[in-house]
Chains A and B, each alone.
Chain A
């Protein structure tokens, strides 16, 4: 098990920069998510850590050793791919034993390790079955078993659940996380699914266009997004942005939006220009008293809650409210925003303006 430190890691393919100077630290035993849209550089980052790609520049420290230019075989990590590649002509036991046998481990020891791993994964009773007859879930467990059995320093997983249907995916993500909680092995997991990242990760790195936009605990990244990209990419529906042009001053605790004063966390910087007032859907309330008005465009019933889409003077706003509230398309309602959760952004750069809410986020980069 190991801590992994990434310093100024960069990868270019010809003229194309896939990863621009990334730096972050993965603590020993952490379940760490690399999150972002396709093409953001998350898989390239993972492949560099694994040694499947060599970085153009930068450092990768695994367990106190700098390995950036070392081949994969010398890094002692295990890689789990989206498509579980198993040897079809071997049974389950032989598939799991293979990495140990090829290391030249004595038979008795192999047998013992395989049975430990099998009981960890709950697959003791299929050890002597052929691969061909297995369900998708069991195949995935065998693939994991083969990765685990070597006791590597860390696991790299590239969208291991990406090919599964929703129901099975949920089941496997719980199982994978429970397995991690038993083993406490450092794991780096790549996904484009923000909910999966929030649900499974101890910490998240959000990447876009090869740049690390933010990293931190899931709830912190959600509550205190450092950029508009993060605020938009995380959350479903994403954060609302109400754009206005003006000046906010350090010390302000409210901004004027269409003539209505809106509470915000105390500002710690002054900024002039186009500003986005960012508020999460669950912090928008419908209230007759609200001075800010919006017309209900659509409602989406979700059982426990519903999403109401409203048209306002500053664009479309989504609110997540209780499904018990009756709302009719076409009606005009007052809106109230929970000011203590609001983030203001400079729309030019997408950067969050510094406030008492996100103070700590900027302090640790």
Chain B
């Protein structure tokens, strides 16, 4: 358990600037998710914290102490990568026990066994403990590599897209599991992903990275409801926020260039007429493609909607978001 702080960290690789002046605090016991597209600097941030990279400028502090001169081992962090790295000649149990048998820990065998059984239970790999690591499916291997981090009880867990190679169902289950493991351990997690669902559902705080800059940091609800910019607003929410000219509906505040409408900002049944295009029945809800004065709008309505293609439906914004010409949110 520990607090991590990055203080004005920059890092370049040759001509490419991976991190620009990033300051960020991961509070003790929090689950911080760094969200951003490929190349935003997410993985570099993790590597700087773990000690695999040294920042060009700035400082990395763990519990208030600079760790720039500490090796990865001295920082007491456990890292889980997207690509699982297991010892292929060992069984699952041996792989999970391995970190505990290191000279640093020197745990008695009965404790190792108990710990490994516990973690295997949580990750639902108990029945595979005696299998060779190579005899596992991809999803099982990834759970073992998460398990190898969990058995150790380090100060900090660093995870680099650990669920991205798993199938949708397993990913959904493990989201809930990882979050409840983190909460029950009171552990500090710094977790990197480009999957907005993972960020929204697991994080206590989300840090949105774009081109090496931290553009917003806050609780998922704050970032979803009060995005700092158009880019952040587009990064969260399914279907994606509709961005339209501010004046389309009238009543835009001064300085507004665009209006941002999420499905919950769109009231159907009054306002400006829009034409219904494609209708997608997703089961729990229906996705409507609308066209309003030549602009495309995608919104949701209930599963048993009676609308059909070619219908005209009135559209009215309710508490929409407005953005200025620089793409920053107004208000």
Interface residues of chain A, those whose CB is within 8 Å of chain B, are: 37, 165-166, 177-178, 181, 192-195, 198-200, 217-219, 222-223, 234-238, 280-282, 297-298, 300-304, 307, 309, 320, 323
B280 touches A303 (CB 8 A): no
Interface of A is mostly: mixed
B200 touches A195 (CB 8 A): no
Say whether B201 faces chain A, with CB atoms less than 8 Å apart: yes
A234 touches B179 (CB 8 A): no
Given A165-B194, A166-B194, A302-B238, 13 new contacts (CB under 8 A): A37-B167, A177-B278, A195-B282, A199-B287, A217-B281, A222-B281, A222-B284, A223-B283, A280-B284, A282-B285, A282-B303, A298-B176, A303-B262
Give me 25 A-to-B residue pairs in the complex whose CB atoms sit less than 8 angstroms apart, sorted by A's number. Answer: A178-B278, A192-B167, A199-B282, A200-B280, A218-B281, A218-B282, A219-B281, A222-B281, A222-B284, A223-B283, A235-B283, A280-B283, A282-B285, A282-B303, A297-B180, A298-B176, A300-B179, A300-B201, A301-B220, A302-B201, A303-B264, A304-B262, A304-B264, A304-B300, A323-B221
Residues of B within 8 A of A282 (CB): 284-285, 303
A234 touches B283 (CB 8 A): yes
Say whether B146 faces chain A, with CB atoms less than 8 Å apart: no
* A38 closest partner in B (C-beta): B167
Interface residues of B in 173-211 (CB under 8 A from A): 175-176, 179-180, 194-195, 197, 200-202
Residues of A within 8 A of B285 (CB): 282
A238 touches B281 (CB 8 A): no
* B203 closest partner in A (C-beta): A301
A198 touches B281 (CB 8 A): yes
B200 touches A236 (CB 8 A): no
Say whether B307 faces chain A, with CB atoms less than 8 Å apart: no
Min C-beta distance of B178 to chain A, whole Å: 11
Cα-based distance from A236 to B238 in the complex (angstroms): 13
Residues of A within 8 A of B172 (CB): 236-237
Cα-based distance from A8 to B287 in the complex (angstroms): 35
* B173 closest partner in A (C-beta): A237
Min C-beta distance of A40 to chain B, whole Å: 13
Q: Residues 236-248 of chain B: 1 if any A CB is under 8 Å from the residue's CB, otherwise 0?
A: 1110000000000
Cα-based distance from A219 to B175 in the complex (angstroms): 27
Residues of A within 8 A of B197 (CB): 302
A198 touches B200 (CB 8 A): no
Residues of A within 8 A of B201 (CB): 300-302, 307
Cα-based distance from A300 to B179 in the complex (angstroms): 10
Beyond A166-B195, A236-B168, A303-B200, whether A298 also contacts B281 by CB under 8 A is no
Which of B168, B224, B283 has a CB less than 8 Å from the CB of A198? B283
Cα-based distance from A177 to B38 in the complex (angstroms): 27
Say whether B169 faces chain A, with CB atoms less than 8 Å apart: yes
Min C-beta distance of B186 to chain A, whole Å: 14
A300 touches B176 (CB 8 A): yes
Cα-based distance from A181 to B289 in the complex (angstroms): 14
Cα-based distance from A298 to B182 in the complex (angstroms): 12
Beyond A177-B278, A181-B278, A193-B168, whether A320 also contacts B284 by CB under 8 A is yes
Residues of A within 8 A of B212 (CB): none
Min C-beta distance of B140 to chain A, whole Å: 14
**In the A-B complex, the 4 residue pairs with the closest CB atoms:** A222-B283, A300-B201, A219-B281, A282-B284
* B285 closest partner in A (C-beta): A282
Min C-beta distance of A146 to chain B, whole Å: 26
Cα-based distance from A175 to B194 in the complex (angstroms): 23
B280 touches A199 (CB 8 A): yes
Min C-beta distance of A210 to chain B, whole Å: 19
B176 touches A309 (CB 8 A): yes
Residues of A within 8 A of B169 (CB): 238
Residues of A within 8 A of B283 (CB): 198, 218-219, 222-223, 234-235, 280
